[in-house]
Amino acid sequence: MTRGALVAIEGLDRTGKSTQTEILIKTLKQQGKAIELIKFPDRTTQIGQLINKYLTDKEFRLSDQSAHLLFSAKRWELVEKINNLLTQGVTVLLDRYVYSGVAYSAAKGLDFQWCLNPDLGLPKPDVVLFLKFKDDGNMKRGGFGEERYEVDEFQKKVKVMFERFDGDNNWRNLYVDGKSIEEVREEVWTHVVKYIDGLDTNVQLFK
């Protein structure tokens, strides 16, 4: 039986991930497609509320390792839901996922493989669209600077860590420099359209 596809949208802060995932989910739902959006971190659960405090209150102290494990715990909290949806033929669209988990923590100096380890065994996206500025355009967007990680020098380090995933066969760079929301939407669509009616292959796991 055809399963749903697992599609992740990744990128630095303010690159347009939430804008694009919301447009995509709306369009596909209007077309009657079975699709669900999951945003990481979802800030509403108990772990999510703690993460929200960490991100928004720069005085709130948590070791880098424990913050990292909380983000991973968030993913494991939802793994059953994701797997059930995929099995039922529902495509799952992710606004951030494991890649953000590793990139932001490794950018602080934690070992890259150590950062990936707690996520091993999670379902691996069939495709990852990485919304990318060639320069530092994301840092010039409205709202940038409000949260803990929205600091220019840190974003540059996160970018380097994200780029370590470039080369994986599911990774697609989508350059957004100077492109309108509509232009990015069209490009996102050309990538995602191949996946929305599901796949016959098994879901891969992070390993």
Give the interface with ligand 2DT as residue ranges (CB under 6 A): 13, 40-41, 55, 71, 96, 100-101, 104, 149
CB of 145 to ligand 2DT, least distance (A): 12
Nearer to ligand ADP, 80 or 177 (CB): 177
Amino acid (one-letter) located at 58: K
Which of 4, 7, 11, 102 touches ligand ADP (CB under 6 A)?
11
Binding-residue pattern over the window 124 to 163 for ligand ADP, x denoting contact by CB under 6 A: -----------------xxx--------------------
Q: Of 39, 54, 16, 12, whose CA–CA distance to 148 is shortest?
A: 54
Structure tokens at 47: 């772990």
Nearer to Mg ion, 5 or 9 (CB): 9
41 binds ligand ADP (CB under 6 A): no
Tokens 């347009």 found at: 16
Nearer to ligand 2DT, 41 or 123 (CB): 41
CB of 172 to ligand ADP, least distance (A): 16
Element (H, E) at 52: helix 46-56
The span from the CA of 112 to the CA of 98, in Å, is 12
Asked if 203 and 85 touch (Cβ cutoff 8 Å), the reply is no
The residues, ordered by sequence, that sit 6+ positions from 77 with a Cβ below 8 Å of its Cβ are 45, 47
- 96, interface contact from ligand 2DT, ligand ADP, Mg ion, none, CB < 5-8 Å by kind: ligand 2DT
Structure tokens at 76: 């494991």
Backbone angles phi, psi at 44, to 5 degrees: -90, -25
CB of 114 to ligand ADP, least distance (A): 26
CB of 206 to ligand 2DT, least distance (A): 13
Per DSSP, 133 falls in state -
Helix, strand, coil fractions of the chain, as percent rounded to 5: 45, 15, 40
Residues 172-201, interacting with ligand ADP (CB under 6 A): 176, 179-181, 184
Which of 18, 27, 83, 170 touches Mg ion (CB under 5 A)?
18
Asked if 207 and 165 touch (Cβ cutoff 8 Å), the reply is no
Contact residues: ligand ADP, CB under 6 A: 11, 13-19, 141-143, 176, 179-181, 184
